[in-house]
Amino acid sequence: MSELLKRKRILSGIQPTGTPTLGNYLGALRNWALLQNSYDCLYMVADLHALTVRQVPADLRRNSRALTALLLAVGIDPKEHILFVQSHVPAHCELSWILACNTQFGELSRMTQFKDKSAKHPDNVNGGLFTYPVLMASDILIYNADLVPVGQDQTQHLELARDIAGRFNNIYGETFVLPEGYVPAAGAKVMSLSEPTKKMSKSDPNVNSFILMTDDKDTIVRKFKRAVTDSDGMVHFDTANKPGVSNLMTIYAAFTGKTMPEIEAEFAGKGYGDFKMAVAETTVDAICPVQEELQRIQADKAYVDGVLKDGAERAARLANRTVSKVHRKVGLLQLEK
């Protein structure tokens, strides 16, 4: 058995709902690349999840390929690990149905993200939004993932996945691994530049609220210059009273590895102008190499599609094995091959 197979398995996904932001990068993608050294990783472009909110079809298609290219540009290794698009592995939906039949209406009704997203999109409170946590459980359980990197907003969904897995195992016998949440040591939650009490989101209608991974230098500098701060002029970390400045410090710390007291000392007596410029320059220096790599990869569409084809085949092999086992356990008739 190779070393890789003995490692714990991690599954994580990102929705192709737009161009990823600095938040996606510092909170997820940068860590995904690091996790490859210690885990057996499956990384998924979660296009089915994206459909819970109305998408422009052409954009969704383009974003799925562009996001794959970005994942390759940040260093995801598609040979050692598995990179795939969720809809390319139909077994996820198949398992999702069976899991839905083992999930209670009351459990889904308690999901806070459903309540939040329904409030945000009152014109489109669809069934997919309601059953989304079951599909997420399926994404995880189908690969028997040991660990799932989750932000705070996803802990309730992971808990539900564990409940569903535990219930299934109790009724039908040991089938699924109960996944654990994984909080990466170097993760950072990045807040909106215009409303720093809200997280930075790629689908925010205000383009000044986020830095996109594809923004050029001038745009990055301009957006940081416009970032909301406060009027006391001190670079000091205090998320409750100085959310804007604290957010910029979080970004600076994530790129430089400096501690908050070190950053406070560095900018003591200097105005926000100098501080914002330093944050912008550090960001540009860090993401420029990713952008160059992205351009190189995006020029080779056949390579990107080849990666996805291979990823889908390898993911489907693992997923189909689980689905076949589940069919047997729940009593679906299987014919001899």
Stretch that binds ligand AQP, among 15-23, 134-142, 300-308, 324-332 (CB under 6 A): 15-23
DSSP state of 191: B
Distance of alpha carbon 43 from alpha carbon 10, whole angstroms = 8
Collapsed DSSP state (helix, strand, coil) of residue 13: strand
Distance of alpha carbon 186 from alpha carbon 174, whole angstroms = 34
Q: What is the CA radius of gyration of the chain?
A: 21
Binding mask 23-62 for ligand AQP (x = CB under 6 A): xx--xx-----------------x----------------
Stretch that binds ligand AQP, among 10-18, 175-183, 267-275, 325-333 (CB under 6 A): 10-18
Residue identified by tokens 């737009």 is 18
Residue 311 interacting with ligand AQP (CB under 6 A): no
Say whether 325 is catalytic: no
Q: What burial class does residue 119 get, using C-beta atoms within 10 Å of its C-beta: 0-12 exposed, 13-18 middle, 19+ buried?
A: exposed
Check 8, 115, 202, 309 and give the catalytic one. 202
Residue 21 interacting with ligand AQP (CB under 6 A): yes
Task: Determine contact, residues 209/200, Cβ cutoff 8 Å.
Answer: yes
Residue 179 interacting with ligand AQP (CB under 6 A): no
Residue 87 interacting with ligand AQP (CB under 6 A): no
Residue 190 interacting with ligand AQP (CB under 6 A): yes
Binding mask 195-224 for ligand AQP (x = CB under 6 A): ----xxxxx---------------------
Nearer to ligand AQP, 27 or 179 (CB): 27
Residue 135 interacting with ligand AQP (CB under 6 A): no
Secondary element (H or E) of residue 40: strand 40-45
Q: Max Cα separation, the chain?
A: 77
Structure tokens given for 57: 């079809």
- What residues contact 323, with CB distance under 8 A and at least 6 apart? 91, 94, 95, 142
Distance of alpha carbon 5 from alpha carbon 3, whole angstroms = 6
Stretch that binds ligand AQP, among 14-22, 100-108, 213-221, 252-260 (CB under 6 A): 14-22
Structure tokens given for 265: 């000392």
Stretch that binds ligand AQP, among 11-19, 91-99, 164-172, 302-310 (CB under 6 A): 11-19
From the CB of 154, what's the least distance to ligand AQP, in Å? 7
Nearer to ligand AQP, 98 or 279 (CB): 279
- What residues contact 219, with CB distance under 8 A and at least 6 apart? none
Residues involved in catalysis: 117, 199, 202
Residues lying near ligand AQP in the complex (CB under 6 A) are found at 14-15, 17, 21, 23-24, 27-28, 46, 151, 189-190, 199-203
